[in-house]
Amino acid sequence: MKKLFNLILLCFFVIAGIAQPRTITDFNKDWRFSLGNDSMALHKMYNDKSWRTLNLPHDWSIEGDFSDKHPTTANQAGLPAGIGWYRKTFTVPATSKNKRMYINFDGVYRNSEVWINGHYLGKRPNGYISFRYELTPYIVAGRSNVLSVKVDNSAQPNSRWYTGSGIYRKVWLLTTNQVAVDHWGTFVSTPEVNNRLAKVRVQTSLTSRGGNNANVNVETRIIDRAGKVVATKVSTGVAVSGSTTIDQEVVVSEPVLWSVTNPYLYKVKTLVRSGNTLLDEYDTNLGIRYFDFDPEKGFFLNGQALKILGVCNHHDLGALGAAVNTRAIERQLEILKSMGCNGIRTAHNPPASELLELCDKMGFIVMDEAFDMWQKRKNRQDYSVDFAEWHKRDLEDMIKRDRNHASIFVWSIGNEIREQFDSTGITITRELTKIIKDLDTTRPVTSALTENEPPKNFIWQSGALDLLGFNYKLAAYPELPKRFPGQKFIAAETMSALATRGHYDMPSDSNRLWPPDSKSPFATGNPDLTVSAYDHVYAYWGSSHEDGWNAVKKAPFMSGIYVWSGFDFLGEPVPYPWPARSSYYGIIDLAGFPKDVYYMYKSEWTNKPMVHLFPHWNWPAGKVVDVWAYYNQADEAELFLNNVSLGVKKKSGDTLHVKWRVPFQPGTLKVVTRKDGKVVMTQQRVTAGKPAAILLSADRTNIKSDGKDLSFVKATIVDANGNMVPDADNQVTFKIAGNGFIAGVDNGLQTSLEPFKASQRKAFNGLCLAIVQSNGKAGPVTLIAEAEGLKSSRVTISSK
């Protein structure tokens, strides 16, 4: 009886016209994949039973072996590219016969071509752009259908960093009525905001595909976090054949403003009706905030001065490659947020939508970037070959997709574009800026520039930029307001400082430019291709972290900073040649383990008391060791070796650390920070013995059983007393039991040529990582770590 009642109730809702008319189907499971090119695979009847079955998102490059023979070169991590095919067989219900159906791709790298049942739908060369195709004319409701996708990443080299290959972002199937909200069909803005009210403008684009005009009512509801409707507006219009825009203004009283510390989001619900029939329902997130970039005082959010404390990040997720995973992105943002970071620059391309959704929810100020090059190439086969034909459509699609994100405050039209050095920069800058302004006038447009002499910079001479973003050259900061009077500024990219986690070269007060210039071959460096983790090594165009941050901190007109880079990333292994295959730039290494300079930022960007003492305390007898400490909320720091004071130090001038030079003796090194004579924090380093055991620690012991969620498990090599052994490099083997699998392994070493898709990894400087992923079933997952001669360890993760 209960089942019958529910069925009758469901039928009532459908008849009453309040059923959910828009259906979004997760289209990421059970694809067939083949690496290689078979032109017959586009046909519906092609036999793909021998192909591999997998779930999306998928990056085939990360599954390959490292080699300097791959045409991607070390700049793309020496991983393979090539051509791959994906096919999915599916059935849509017979009830879909009078509906419109669309396939949506969030990103395919690159040169994707798509067919449905053998019918060609189109091509998108840009590997970072989102797009969709309509399936309606070719799909057969109630019967089997086949979607075929060719991905061609064979033309190499086409990037200055690792791209990945394949359908590496999510895919979904959308079913709508004949009248519906169009693709990216709402634009929500807040033309007037204060503490008393917010005027919310909602522009809704409707599409009518049935060939007839339809009288419709468009109801807009603004819903708060608790689910309460706080404002409503209903408008009447005619959905003409094609596209129609309904423009509404809704007033929210006493709004909760979005900020980096309270990223409050409302929901805008758009309901489209014809009479009593609900034709469509469409949700858009809304963050109510107002902001300003001031030429003299920098950035203001909701009327309060705020320094943007940001990092640049490439899109790869370390051992997971380019394949998008929401939890992996969230983990990166959590680590950055703990450091005090409040900004992300998407370097140098449109990001995954999951990143922007998380930035909305977690409170980051995003510079959303479109291009790394225009017509002038940086690599032989890069986007410059497609720019002339595709840049307008690609840029329009980026703006339409992303413009409702509260976290986005700046649009960037390019990074270190070579047209800034000739007059074509004027024309192209004006064109790109107009494309953006035609779609969104609520945010400034910038470009990350390298030339800070006005007569030499043609992008600047276009007069089209609202905000000047400058990369590096911090010595010129004091002159910028004079060179560019009345302009607004941001440090779009800074530092390019280098480090290998846990490696230390002395003396630490001797700065090293690696490489020293653009012309000389890099003949110095370390034989093992490491870089010292003291903040004293950087590329010739960059600076130390302390110098770069001090330059921005002391410049009130500089709205903020985006450090290059937040995390190490695959590819671009400056300063070294092969077998270096990933970057040294990160504040955090590729595995997600912070380098020491992470704590410099934490001492400067957060108010919570902290202290960080380094390096480790395992050295040859008598070696003189440079000991550093970062701290905050204290006046001084005192160092003790085996309970004997080695003196009190205070930060002075622009120096953001304190330093002692200490002859090594085994034992305990301890730092104590004080304020007004009272102890604030202490930290110690202990001389470790020989490796004795593995210690496993999971970032989360409870994950969702959705087949996507992750737990990042750190394996630490410890001595008999539980102290990390700082130079341990034991081979660790991981075994897993239960409802999960090992999605990847890593150790953060830039020169490791061990595969990421494996069940073993050598520790590097005492640490390695295993990434555990749900297999889609509920139940416990147990990870066991073993190494020869060491006590094993296990951790159990609950998958629910």
**Confidence grade of residue 95 (pLDDT, cut at 50, 70, 90):** confident
Q: Is the distance from CB of 311 to CB of 552 less than 8 angstroms?
A: no
Q: Taking each helix axis from N to C terminus, what angle separates 424-437 and 384-402, rounded to the nearest 10 degrees?
A: 30
What is residue 88's predicted lDDT score, i.e. its pLDDT?
A: 98
Per-residue pLDDT tens digits for 116-156:
999 999 999 999 999 999 999 999 999 999 999 999 999 99
**Confidence grade of residue 237 (pLDDT, cut at 50, 70, 90):** confident
Provide the sign of the torsion angle of the four alpha carbons 48, 51, 55, 61, taken in this order: negative
What is residue 209's predicted lDDT score, i.e. its pLDDT?
A: 83
What is residue 168's predicted lDDT score, i.e. its pLDDT?
A: 98
What is residue 19's predicted lDDT score, i.e. its pLDDT?
A: 46
460-462-468-474 Cα dihedral, nearest 10 degrees: 0
Give residue for tokens 């001084």: 636
Per-residue pLDDT tens digits for 738-770:
999 999 999 999 999 999 999 999 999 999 999
Report d(CA 203, CA 182) in Å as an integer.
11
Provide the whole-model pTM.
0.96
Nearest to 571 by CA among 353, 758, 347: 347
Report d(CA 431, CA 674) in Å as an integer.
57
Whether pLDDT at 335 is above 60: yes
What is residue 20's predicted lDDT score, i.e. its pLDDT?
A: 60
- Six-digit token string for 723: 């102290």
Whether pLDDT at 5 is above 60: no
Q: Is the distance from CB of 455 to CB of 432 less than 8 angstroms?
A: no
What is residue 14's predicted lDDT score, i.e. its pLDDT?
A: 39
Whether pLDDT at 4 is above 80: no
Whether pLDDT at 11 is above 70: no
Terminal C-alpha separation, the chain: 31
Task: Please tell me which residue, 669 or 19, carries the higher pLDDT value.
Answer: 669
**Confidence grade of residue 429 (pLDDT, cut at 50, 70, 90):** very high
- Locate all alpha helices (DSSP H) within 501-575, ordered by sequence: 545-553
Nearest to 493 by CA among 346, 349, 383: 346
Whether pLDDT at 2 is above 80: no
What is residue 350's predicted lDDT score, i.e. its pLDDT?
A: 98
Report d(CA 50, CA 40) in Å as an integer.
14
What is residue 400's predicted lDDT score, i.e. its pLDDT?
A: 98
Report d(CA 215, CA 588) in Å as an integer.
56
Whether pLDDT at 664 is above 80: yes
Per-residue pLDDT tens digits for 392-422:
999 999 999 999 999 999 999 999 999 999 9
**Confidence grade of residue 16 (pLDDT, cut at 50, 70, 90):** very low
pLDDT more than 70, % of the chain: 97
Q: How many CB atoms lie within 10 A of CB 229?
A: 11
Per-residue pLDDT tens digits for 603-617:
999 999 999 999 999
What is residue 97's predicted lDDT score, i.e. its pLDDT?
A: 86
Report d(CA 128, CA 132) in Å as an integer.
13
- Locate all alpha helices (DSSP H) within 664-738, ordered by sequence: none
Whether pLDDT at 9 is above 90: no
User: How far, in Å, are 318, 529, 662, 738 from residue 626 at the CA level?
Assistant: 31, 21, 6, 47
Burial of 39 (0-12, 13-18, 19+ CB in 10 A): exposed
What is residue 214's predicted lDDT score, i.e. its pLDDT?
A: 79
Per-residue pLDDT tens digits for 532-541:
999 999 999 9
DSSP state of 758: S
Per-residue pLDDT tens digits for 632-654:
999 999 999 999 999 999 999 99
What is residue 213's predicted lDDT score, i.e. its pLDDT?
A: 78
Q: How many CB atoms lie within 10 A of CB 52?
A: 12
- Expressed in percent and rounded to 5, the helix, strand and coil fractions of the chain are 15, 40, 45
The beta-strand segments (E) located in 154-276 are 171-176, 179-193, 197-208, 214-223, 229-239, 242-253, 266-274
Rounded to an integer, the average pLDDT of 346-352 is 98
Positions annotated as catalytic residues are 416, 493
